[in-house]
Chain A
Amino acid sequence: GAVVSQHPSWVICKSGTSVKIECRSLDFQATTMFWYRQFPKQSLMLMATSNEGSKATYEQGVEKDKFLINHASLTLSTLTVTSAHPEDSSFYICSARTFGTGRQYFGPGTRLTVT
């Protein structure tokens, strides 16, 4: 149980275009989903927290207009990287959590490369 999927697992896009990444909790209802970014050989950096049906809370330094997060249902959250630039190339990971628990279940990650 507690499986989280991400789609796509790998995407290449051209500079200036937008990319949408989906995060789904497959066998549980995720009241909260988190989006992380990981640079090579670095820790996971939390970008934003989203609760179902409400606006996402972004961490300091994360541009909310660039990284659009939608958590429309208890099983789906999306991250859209708008007007992507090469510096947005990274490994993006989502996690999901059910209300009342501290444990987060992570997706497999999405490798974004912007050319």
Chain B
Amino acid sequence: DQQVKQNSPSLSVQEGRISILNCDYTNSMFDYFLWYKKYPAEGPTFLISISSIKDKNEDGRFTVFLNKSAKHLSLHIVPSQPGDSAVYFCAATWGNEKLTFGTGTRLTIIP
């Protein structure tokens, strides 16, 4: 039962353009969502998060949008840079309990 889904396993974006990564969830109890970036053979690093009481959170080049009615969130990276090439995981939690991760999207930024 995959409660958090990232339906695009991979995405290629031209450098300087916007990268949009999508994530859907099924559990309406989730109240906190996070995005992590991961390089091969390394642990995930935290990027940005959003609480369910908000619909947008912005941090530099990264913006996360949350649509609770659609149970959908997205991560926007603009402008995309070569160093952004990595696997991105969205994760969800509720009640400060364990994280449930999506399956990841491999982002490749084309110079």
Contact with A along B78-108 (1 / 0, CB 8 A): 0000000000010001001011111110000
Given contacts A44-B44, A109-B42, contact A103 B89 (CB under 8 A): no
Within 8 Å CB of B100, what residues of A? Answer: 46
Is the CB of A43 closer than 8 A to any CB of chain B?
yes
Number of interface residues of A (CB under 8 A): 23
Contact A111 B41 (CB under 8 A): yes
Is the CB of B43 closer than 8 A to any CB of chain A?
yes
> Closest 8 interchain pairs by CB?
A106-B43, A43-B103, A102-B32, A44-B101, A108-B43, A43-B101, A109-B43, A106-B44
Name 15 extra pairs, CB < 8 A, besides A49-B98, A95-B43. Answer: A4-B43, A43-B102, A43-B104, A46-B98, A46-B99, A91-B41, A101-B96, A102-B34, A103-B34, A104-B46, A105-B46, A106-B43, A108-B42, A109-B42, A111-B41
